[in-house]
Structure 1
Amino acid sequence: MLTSLVLAACGAPATEAPQTEEAPAATEAPAGTEAPPEPTAVPPEPIATFDGKTLSVPDCGYGGFFKSIEATDQFTVTFNMCKSDPAFLSKIAFSPFAIYSKDWIESTTGDATRTSEGLEKPIGTGPYMVSEWNRGESLTMTAFPDYWDAAPEAETLVFRWSTESAARLQELQAGTIDGFDNVGSEDFTVIEADANLHLQIRPALNTFYLGMTNTFPPLDNQLVRQAIGMGIDRQRIVDNFYPVGSEVASHFTPCSIPNACEGESWYEFDVDAAKALLAEAGFPDGFKTRLGYRDVVRGYLPNVAQVAGDLQAQLKENLNIDAEIVVMESGAFIEETGAGRFDGLYMLGWGADYPHVTNFIDYHFGEAQLQFGDQSPTYTEPIKVAATIGDFAEAAPMYAEINNALKEYVPMVPIAHGGNAAAYTADVTNPQASPLTTELFAYSDPGGRDTFVWMQNAEPISLFCADETDGESLRACEQVTQALYGFKINDTAVEPHLAESCEPNADSTVWVCTLRQGVKFHDGSDFDSEDVLATFDMALNIGSPFHKGNTNLWEYYSTLWGLMQVTP
């Protein structure tokens, strides 16, 4: 577990970038992009059985982590693993693995997805309950009177959103909000100089990358991907569009996470070598493609349109690649890229959900991930092995092999680890800027006011976060739902939430979780082991009648635990 995190500041002089004050010309994306014709996919087959007390699979050949999950008694759950999982506690603390009421799961199951109530008004055990979601404007939550822990500091919590950092700062200065996330890089000094405001720095546990789907030509050519990998001046992007505390990504995972930066660093910027690779691949005069993004500020990408414009300019200047910019609505963009349907290059990033290298590597590059197209066994196979090794020194050679294979195969280009911050009015006590963006506002006092108003970059996509990956959605869910474990305030250390403890056997292949008693859901029902089993059955068991989500990709369950299924 990480106990300390260090921010690295860029000290290199800035390289001049083209002027991109205005967003570059963009086209609206179509609802979907057709992939090249392929044989009809064979749907996976369910393999799990569930009797209300035990969820199990016949054997571990399906490749996932769980052999069985058992409600040993009313307040004990036993996880029997197919393989050792040293990151178990950090993973189980992640908000998509929050526990829902068994009855709520059943009542909000629609024909193809969750019902509107299931997507917009989850019944959790957290300090706040969803009161009203005024789509496009605000999300209001009220304190849960029967919350098992200390009562929230503010009776009402309101989430609002704005894509513009300057607009968020103006609202904070006017006192209409109590805090906001992702301070613009140009506003750090403004906030620090204002005695009425407070800047809360967040460690740079994130990665901005340029993704590419390798099932679409010419990105199916590894030489083309390598050329792009070394043909972009990443330092120029960091110097011109990122705040202090940011750095060029030497590896995909931030180096403050153990084992993250084993193996070779990424390619140095080399236009001549990149052009030679393009010529060798049969594209001496470049080619046309698309550059997609969603216009949503993140800690890993503080100046979205400007970075898009610079990438577009560099692709043309350095490689003669004409990249048409395509701006998509956030939810549609996540769905298209996540399913591997976006034809072209795209801008995305990742913030740490839990402080372990598996959160970055396994999620993005495990064999179940569709996002980049065809994954390579040169890294998917060692990823399986490395995830079971608890000793960092023993795992180091495996992660060196993985990072070197990623550099060779180039499913994406890691560009930056972005320094970022949240800002608050000076009278807010316990201001938060979690390294994992898991701010829990029940523990922050807005200067004695009854309502805490938080402004983020975008509206949540849905509040059924078992089937979401969007950070703005997850933060909202974390106020309402809880997992067996959670993360300490402004820290990466785990602590018990709905469990009193989860204890492993000697080789971490069995975890026994003792549940907290006396906990109630927002509808007044009691929490016990059947709710835990119902939640994991809903998410992992593709044969369950309740396996209905929002996107139905179940990306976190799929990539971090493994859905209980086999492909014929």
Structure 2
Amino acid sequence: MLQTRVARTRRLALIGLAGALAVSMTACASERGSGGEGGAGNENTLVFGAAGAPKNFDPIFNDDGESFRPIRQMYETLITYKPGTADLQPGLATEWRPSDEGKTWTFKLREGVKFHDGTDFNAEAVCFNFDRWFNMPSAAAQSQMIYYGDVFEGFANNQGDATGQPVYKSCEAPDPTTAVLHLNKAKGAFPDAFGLTSLSMSSPTALQKYKADDVKQSGDSFSYPAYANEHPTGTGPYKFQSYDKAAGTITLVRNEDYWGEKAKLERIIFRIIPDENARKQELTSGQIDGYDLPNPADYQALRDAGAQVMIRPVFNILYLGINQANNPALKDVRVRKAIEHAINKEQLAKNELPEGASARDQFVPQETDGYTDQVEKHNFDPNQAKQLLRQAGVQNLTLKFYVPTEVSRPYMPNPVEIAGAIADDLKAVGINVEMVQRPWNGGFKDDVQKAGKHDLHLLGWTGDYGDAGNFIGTFFGREKAEFGFNNPEIFNALSTADAQVDEAAQKRAYEQAAVAISKYVPAVPLTSSPPAIVVGGNIQGLVPSPLTDERFATVTKGQQS
């Protein structure tokens, strides 16, 4: 009998709705919208306000929250996360076991599971999915597989950005309920990374029928096949019904043949409402049942209207990126340390971020193995900043500070205001700042992460799973245009940590890497913030996730207070 590998102990505790979620219901809401069969007024329908349109519905090609939210209701992974935590629990696999050297993973699969098209989920289906990802046929498709590329480090034929030996080797199905994954090298991100939404299981029949891998590129644009847009086929408690782009609505219906406990509600409708203030108004008027990332300034007004503002456990980081490639002064570690000493992080957290935000002195979350008090700290000290600049022989330094607009992230609710506070701190020690504002999806990410046009930039990260490598490995594991440095010591330290199978050894290795990063200062850790999700006062059963991995199958609708 296979033995389930015990998930790493995390301090991200399961938080019940009646407990420390900071759910506030201080008044009755305005009347709910009457709604029709699919409206918010229907007790069998959840209407959720989405901030933007999904990219598509094929998990492997996605990396953003607006796409993942509906995908998570339709698809499942081999291993999943316990609600309200980053701890692991069985998904489509009931048990999992690594070999001693970590290069083979054996999964015992759940029996009696079917995909939405009625075909069987079994070991052959698991291997089909892993082989599909590994053998993705085009550079266009590979370039869209962001999470797979990060975790598995390459493909059978590297046509995209991936180079070197890939992690994946092969998969075998000795019997219908046993899948064996063979790797070329151990990967410390496992088993946690097996829970990534991108690695959800799709129906092999539907993938082939609707030509799922036929991704086309035209300039900077990509087009996706029928599977991704019209026929997503998973095993989850909800299944796809329609996506009306003109109306901006995505409709999912309950999977009546679901293997586990069936979803409480018959239908979920995601209404695309780009304006945050409009989402607030739609919720308080009863036209929608909830939305994500409410503006912290609106928390009390929402509570006063009877809504439940649910504060997630903190699992994110806001940072000031430093690009060493453009400005020679930034290659001097004394200048980079001066930048960190110049920033009043405590004041930033207090004045510009949600209640509960805190200053950070490293990139590994305190709740994650790899966090250490031994990092080199560069506390707020303008005089020390000025002294370091003098020692480096730097005067009248001017830096291009790239700041995103048209975006609100869990770690960064008001980017321009946050950047303004940082710019003021830098000016106070003699560093001049030229602010360059660029739309999030209209130039900022390309300018910063691909072209490296900036000197400084504001960005952050919400953890995908409870592993230090998902933070510092993602940021600093290899040379990137975002940071513009080549430090073999750090790259090797992170690679060593990522290859550790023993949990204690991996913890020590990530702690050592965190210390090396703190001394080198490739970027400045700023703050962490507790993001919120808000729902109407009649919504019950939603468990906020530190990974923003909320599942709606447990949600019910009662009477408004």
TM-score band (shorter)?
0.5 to 0.7
From 321, 327, 335, the counterpart of 1:211: 321
For 2:392 and 2:208, locate their aligned partners in 1 and report how far apart those are by CA, in whole Å.
57
Partner residue in 1 for 2:183: 81
Partner residue in 2 for 1:343: 454
Alignment of 1:247-326 (within 5 A): 247-326=358-437
For 1:53 and 1:139, locate their aligned partners in 2 and report how far apart those are by CA, in whole Å.
26
Alignment of 1:2-13 (within 5 A): 2-5=9-12
For 1:162 and 1:319, locate their aligned partners in 2 and report how far apart those are by CA, in whole Å.
43
Specify whether residues 283 and 192 from structure 1 end up closer, same or farther in structure 2 by C-alpha distance, changes over 3 A only.
Answer: same
Specify whether residues 118 and 52 from structure 1 end up closer, same or farther in structure 2 by C-alpha distance, changes over 3 A only.
Answer: closer
Specify whether residues 281 and 202 from structure 1 end up closer, same or farther in structure 2 by C-alpha distance, changes over 3 A only.
Answer: same
Counterpart amino acid of 2:224? T
- Contact 2:314 / 2:528 at 8 angstroms: preserved in 1? yes
Alignment of 1:129-144 (within 5 A): 129=240, 131-134=242-245, 137-144=248-255
- 2:224 is aligned with 1:115: yes
- 2:184 is aligned with 1:92: no
The gaps in structure 1 that reach 5 residues or longer are: 10-49, 450-568
Partner residue in 2 for 1:199: 309
Describe the superposition over 1:239-295 as per-residue Cα deviations: whole angstroms up to 9, x where unpaired. Answer: 102223221112112101122235315311122222333344443112141322143
- Contact 1:259 / 1:399 at 8 angstroms: preserved in 2? yes
How far did residue 415 of structure 1 move?
A: 0.5
How far did residue 297 of structure 1 move?
A: 1.4
How far did residue 131 of structure 1 move?
A: 1.0
Describe the superposition over 1:501-546 as per-residue Cα deviations: whole angstroms up to 9, x where unpaired. Answer: xxxxxxxxxxxxxxxxxxxxxxxxxxxxxxxxxxxxxxxxxxxxxx
SS at match of 1:441: coil
Partner residue in 2 for 1:355: 466
- Contact 2:403 / 2:416 at 8 angstroms: preserved in 1? no
Partner residue in 1 for 2:552: 441
- Contact 1:262 / 1:400 at 8 angstroms: preserved in 2? no
TM-score (norm 1): 0.63
TM-score (norm 2): 0.64
SS at match of 2:553: helix
Partner residue in 1 for 2:268: 157
- 2:348 is aligned with 1:237: yes
Describe the superposition over 1:168-216 as per-residue Cα deviations: whole angstroms up to 9, x where unpaired. Answer: 333222111111222322333444455x322222001110111133222
- Contact 1:84 / 1:388 at 8 angstroms: preserved in 2? yes
SS at match of 1:339: helix
Specify whether residues 62 and 192 from structure 1 end up closer, same or farther in structure 2 by C-alpha distance, changes over 3 A only.
Answer: same
CA RMSD of aligned residues (A): 3.4
Describe the superposition over 1:427-449 as per-residue Cα deviations: whole angstroms up to 9, x where unpaired. Answer: 11112321110111232123499
How far did residue 146 of structure 1 move?
A: 4.5
Describe the superposition over 1:461-485 as per-residue Cα deviations: whole angstroms up to 9, x where unpaired. Answer: xxxxxxxxxxxxxxxxxxxxxxxxx
For 2:244 and 2:300, locate their aligned partners in 1 and report how far apart those are by CA, in whole Å.
34
For 1:299 and 1:66, locate their aligned partners in 2 and report how far apart those are by CA, in whole Å.
32
Partner residue in 1 for 2:169: 67
Specify whether residues 53 and 117 from structure 1 end up closer, same or farther in structure 2 by C-alpha distance, changes over 3 A only.
Answer: closer
Specify whether residues 397 and 340 from structure 1 end up closer, same or farther in structure 2 by C-alpha distance, changes over 3 A only.
Answer: farther
How far did residue 67 of structure 1 move?
A: 3.4
Counterpart amino acid of 2:409? R
Aligned pairs, number: 405
For 1:164 and 1:318, locate their aligned partners in 2 and report how far apart those are by CA, in whole Å.
37
From 179, 200, 208, the counterpart of 1:103: 208
For 2:132 and 2:399, locate their aligned partners in 1 and report how far apart those are by CA, in whole Å.
54
For 2:423 and 2:272, locate their aligned partners in 1 and report how far apart those are by CA, in whole Å.
28
The gaps in structure 2 that reach 5 residues or longer are: 1-7, 21-129, 136-154, 158-162
For 2:134 and 2:364, locate their aligned partners in 1 and report how far apart those are by CA, in whole Å.
36
- Contact 1:340 / 1:372 at 8 angstroms: preserved in 2? no
SS at match of 1:84: coil
For 1:320 and 1:417, locate their aligned partners in 2 and report how far apart those are by CA, in whole Å.
25
How far did residue 366 of structure 1 move?
A: 1.3
Moved more, 353-362 or 274-283: 274-283
- Contact 2:368 / 2:467 at 8 angstroms: preserved in 1? yes
For 2:302 and 2:380, locate their aligned partners in 1 and report how far apart those are by CA, in whole Å.
35
Counterpart amino acid of 1:212? I
Specify whether residues 52 and 118 from structure 1 end up closer, same or farther in structure 2 by C-alpha distance, changes over 3 A only.
Answer: closer
Describe the superposition over 1:330-354 as per-residue Cα deviations: whole angstroms up to 9, x where unpaired. Answer: 2643344332534232211111111
SS at match of 1:141: strand
Moved more, 152-161 or 404-413: 152-161
SS at match of 1:313: helix
Counterpart amino acid of 1:5? L
Counterpart amino acid of 1:81? L
SS at match of 2:534: strand
How far did residue 139 of structure 1 move?
A: 3.4
- Contact 1:258 / 1:356 at 8 angstroms: preserved in 2? yes
Partner residue in 2 for 1:415: 526
Partner residue in 2 for 1:500: none
- Contact 1:53 / 1:71 at 8 angstroms: preserved in 2? no
Partner residue in 2 for 1:539: none
Specify whether residues 337 and 322 from structure 1 end up closer, same or farther in structure 2 by C-alpha distance, changes over 3 A only.
Answer: closer
Q: Identity of counterpart residues, as a percentage?
A: 26
Partner residue in 1 for 2:233: 124
For 1:139 and 1:111, locate their aligned partners in 2 and report how far apart those are by CA, in whole Å.
24
For 2:334 and 2:262, locate their aligned partners in 1 and report how far apart those are by CA, in whole Å.
57
Specify whether residues 72 and 215 from structure 1 end up closer, same or farther in structure 2 by C-alpha distance, changes over 3 A only.
Answer: farther
For 1:387 and 1:140, locate their aligned partners in 2 and report how far apart those are by CA, in whole Å.
40
Specify whether residues 438 and 51 from structure 1 end up closer, same or farther in structure 2 by C-alpha distance, changes over 3 A only.
Answer: closer
Partner residue in 2 for 1:373: 484
